[in-house]
Amino acid sequence: MPSDFNQAIDRIDLKILDVLQQDGRISNLKLAEAVALSPTAVLARVQRLTRDGYITGYAARLNPAKLGADMLVFVEVLLDRTTPNVFEAFKAAVQVRPEIMECHMVAGGFDYLLKTRMADMAAYRAFAGTVLWQLPGVRETRTYAVMEEVKSTTRLALGV
């Protein structure tokens, strides 16, 4: 577990989190059955886990192929300068681009790793020319189009 793992949560809390990761729409009654507690106790725990920031939200997982975003592309971004104002301008610009699903500052040979979804290579090429290469501070990019998505999950290994 991470170094700031709060020991205030117990095995039941971890089980609740694990079940919610599997099915965020599970009813409180079924969740209570799954962790062998009363619905009232489970509701109180879920509310506390949410309040304390262990649960940050709920979302539906959508099928990108059915919604015109079947092509997954990762992009390495190297900035021209690594100064605080360039980092801040880049981060602000990335936040407003819906095509960019994830953006991570990384250590190593480049500054950021982006995860994007597009309809196809033509859409990515248009995105690269009109958006990606126009982002503040971008000096160089390397594109990795995904040929096969072998595993994709948002679940954390909780050890329960």
76 forms beta bridges with 113, 142
Residue 102 clears pLDDT 60, i.e. is over it: yes
Residue 4 has pLDDT above 60, yes or no: no
Residues of the chain with CATH 1.10.10.10: 11-51
Neighbours of 117 (CB within 10 A): 19
Residue-wise pLDDT tens digits, 117-157: 999 999 999 999 999 999 999 999 999 999 999 999 999 99
Give the separation between CA 65 and CA 8, rounded to whole angstroms.
Answer: 41
**Mean pLDDT score, 38-60:** 96
Q: Where in the chain is the domain with CATH 3.30.70.920?
A: 64-145
Tell me the helices (H) and strands (E) count for the chain, helix number first.
5, 4
How far from each other are the two terminal CA atoms of the chain, in whole angstroms?
12
CA 12 to chain CA centroid, nearest Å: 25
Third-level CATH fold of 64-145: Alpha-Beta Plaits (3.30.70)
Closest of 30, 106, 119, 3 to residue 70, by C-alpha: 119
How far apart, in whole angstroms, are the C-alpha atoms of residue 121 and residue 115?
15
Average confidence (pLDDT) over 63-68: 95
Q: How far apart are CA 124 and CA 73, in angstroms?
A: 8
pLDDT of 3 strictly over 50: no
Domain range 11-51, CATH architecture: Orthogonal Bundle (1.10)
Write out the H or E segment, with its range, that includes residue 73. Answer: strand 71-79
**What amino acid is encoded at 84 in this protein?**
P
Stretch 42-61: mean pLDDT, rounded?
96
